[in-house]
Structure 1
Amino acid sequence: MQENNTTRLAAYTGLAGLFILCIASLWYYKERMLFTDASFILFNIITEGRLYIQENRFGAFITQMVPMLGSKMHLPLKTILLSYSLSFNLFYFLSSAVLVFVCRQYKIAVLLCFYYLLFASEAFYWSNNEIFQATAWMMLGFGTLLYRTATPRHLLRICLFAALITTAIFTHAGVIPIVFFLSVYYLFISNNYPQQKSKLLVTLIIAAVITIKLILSSSQTYDSGKMHNALHFSLHDIVTALGSDFSIYFIKQCITNYWVAVILFVWGMSYLLIHKKYKLAALCGFTAIAYYVLICLVFNNLTGHHLYYIESEIMGMAIICTLPFVYYILPALKPRVVFILMLLIIGSRLLYIYNGAKRFTARVDITTTILNQMDKDGINKLAIIDGEDVKKTMIEPWAAGAESIILSAMNGQSNRSFYFVKDSSAVPTDRYIYAGCFHDYKPDQMNNQYFTIDTNSHYIIRYFKNITP
Structure 2
Amino acid sequence: MDDTKLRTIATPPTVSLLRRYSWLSLGVLLALAVLAAVFWRERAWLLDVAYQTVLMLQDGTVQVQVYRFGAAVVQALPLLGMKLGLPLAVISFLYSVAFPLVFLLFWWLTVRVLRQSALGLALALLYTGMVYDGFYWCTSELQQGLGFLLVCWAFILRYPRLDRPWQWVVLVAALVALVFYHPLVFIPFLFAWLYWGEG
Q: What TM-score results when the alignment is normalised by the length of structure 1? A: 0.39
Counterparts in 2 of 1:165 and 1:80: CA distance versus 1, 3 Å? same
- Code of the residue aligned with 1:2 in structure 2: it is P
* Aligned twin of 2:6: none
Distance in 2 between the 1:12 and 1:79 partners?
30
Q: What TM-score results when the alignment is normalised by the length of structure 2? A: 0.88
Does structure 2 conserve the Cα–Cα contact (< 8 Å) formed by 1:67 and 1:80? yes
> What is the aligned counterpart of 1:116 among 127, 151, 171?
127
Deviations 1:396-421 (A, max 9, x none): xxxxxxxxxxxxxxxxxxxxxxxxxx
Which ranges of structure 2 fall in alignment gaps of 5 or more residues?
A: 1-11
Does structure 1 conserve the Cα–Cα contact (< 8 Å) formed by 2:134 and 2:140? no
Deviations 1:244-298 (A, max 9, x none): xxxxxxxxxxxxxxxxxxxxxxxxxxxxxxxxxxxxxxxxxxxxxxxxxxxxxxx
Deviation at 1:150, TM superposition (A): 5.7
* Aligned twin of 1:156: 166
Deviation at 1:100, TM superposition (A): 0.7
- Code of the residue aligned with 1:170 in structure 2: it is F
Deviation at 1:126, TM superposition (A): 0.3
* Aligned twin of 1:65: 76
The percent of aligned pairs where both chains have the same amino acid is 24
Higher fraction of helix: 2
Is 1:8 the counterpart of 2:41? The answer is: no
Distance in 1 between the 2:26 and 2:178 partners?
21
Deviation at 1:147, TM superposition (A): 1.5
> What is the aligned counterpart of 2:117 among 106, 118, 130?
106
Does structure 1 conserve the Cα–Cα contact (< 8 Å) formed by 2:159 and 2:167? no
Deviations 1:206-251 (A, max 9, x none): xxxxxxxxxxxxxxxxxxxxxxxxxxxxxxxxxxxxxxxxxxxxxx
Distance in 1 between the 2:113 and 2:69 partners?
25
Deviation at 1:159, TM superposition (A): 2.1
- Code of the residue aligned with 1:145 in structure 2: it is I
Deviation at 1:176, TM superposition (A): 1.3
- Code of the residue aligned with 1:81 in structure 2: it is S
Distance in 1 between the 2:62 and 2:130 partners?
29
Superposition RMSD in Å? 1.6
SS at match of 2:17: helix
Is 1:31 the counterpart of 2:42? The answer is: yes
Distance in 1 between the 2:83 and 2:121 partners?
37
Aligned residues: 188
Deviation at 1:173, TM superposition (A): 1.1
* Aligned twin of 1:82: 93
Alignment of 1:32-431 (within 5 A): 32-149=43-160, 153=164, 155-188=165-198
Deviation at 1:22, TM superposition (A): 0.5
Distance in 2 between the 1:119 and 1:98 partners?
21
- Code of the residue aligned with 2:71 in structure 1: it is A
Distance in 2 between the 1:151 and 1:2 partners?
27
Does structure 2 conserve the Cα–Cα contact (< 8 Å) formed by 1:145 and 1:157? no
Rg larger in 1 or in 2? 1
Does structure 2 conserve the Cα–Cα contact (< 8 Å) formed by 1:51 and 1:64? yes
Distance in 2 between the 1:127 and 1:55 partners?
17
Counterparts in 2 of 1:119 and 1:75: CA distance versus 1, 3 Å? same
SS at match of 1:118: helix
Distance in 1 between the 2:169 and 2:153 partners?
12
Deviation at 1:70, TM superposition (A): 1.1
Deviation at 1:152, TM superposition (A): 5.1
SS at match of 2:130: coil
* Aligned twin of 1:312: none
Which ranges of structure 1 fall in alignment gaps of 5 or more residues?
A: 190-469
Distance in 1 between the 2:108 and 2:44 partners?
25
- Code of the residue aligned with 2:133 in structure 1: it is E
Distance in 1 between the 2:74 and 2:162 partners?
33
Deviation at 1:122, TM superposition (A): 2.7
